[in-house]
Copies of this chain bind each other. A is one copy, B any other.
Amino acid sequence: MTIEDHLPDTVKNASTVQLLRQGDVLFSRNSPTTGVYEVLQGRVRLSRMDHTGHETILYVARVGDPLAEASIFSQTYHCDAIAASDATVRLYPKAPLLREYENNPAFAKAYAMILARQLMDTRAKVEMLNMNSARARIRHYLSRNACSAEHHVEIKGSLKELALELGLTHEALYRTLARMAESGEIERNGNIIKLV
């Protein structure tokens, strides 16, 4: 279920592609919304900065993921979008999307399903952040991201980035992973983690 599945050509043709270098700002908080993005390559993270400069990662959009879906009904963005790696994104401008809403029920439903999925994912993140032990957060992350067949997880990006996503310091993440490997709970091979 990607955003374009139910889009007619009129909307697809109105879309544009952008290339981003790691660290580039795709849009920033309070700037006017231009539309909804889809990640074609790489990773883009949605985050908020608090007044102390501390960053909260709200969401990491990977290949095929939509970005800023909730902004379609807003005048301004509510967070920053930053390329977590070199990335390619496609922008679907707001106006044709909203027009599509009026006369394409299949699209409206598909879009709502995307929003519903985002909501459930974000609630899973709430659940994860509500755990106060680093080990529990990591377990939660691993079990949600394990390929169901093989019990392993491939870490995309750096561990520092993962730490940010888990709401931990990178030191806490390194240490806890090390302890989990010691105790035999996981096995590590580069950026692949196997659950035991």
Contact = CB atoms under 8 A, between A and B. Distances in A.
Interface of A: 46, 48, 50, 54, 56, 58-59, 69-70, 72-74, 78-79, 101-103, 105, 108-109, 111-113, 115-120, 122-123, 125-127, 129-132, 136, 167
Contacts of A46: 123
A79 B113 contact: no
Contacts of A73: 112-113, 116
Contacts of A119: 69-70, 115, 118-119, 122
Copies of the chain in the assembly: 2
Given A70-B119, A108-B108, A112-B115, 5 more contacts: A73-B112, A73-B116, A118-B119, A129-B167, A132-B167
A133 to B, nearest CB: 10
Contact of A127 (B56, B112, B115): B56
Contacts of A72: 116
Contact of A58 (B103, B117, B127): B127
Contacts of A103: 105
Contacts of A70: 116-117, 119-120
B111 A101 contact: no
B56 A130 contact: yes
Contact of A105 (B54, B101, B122, B129): B101
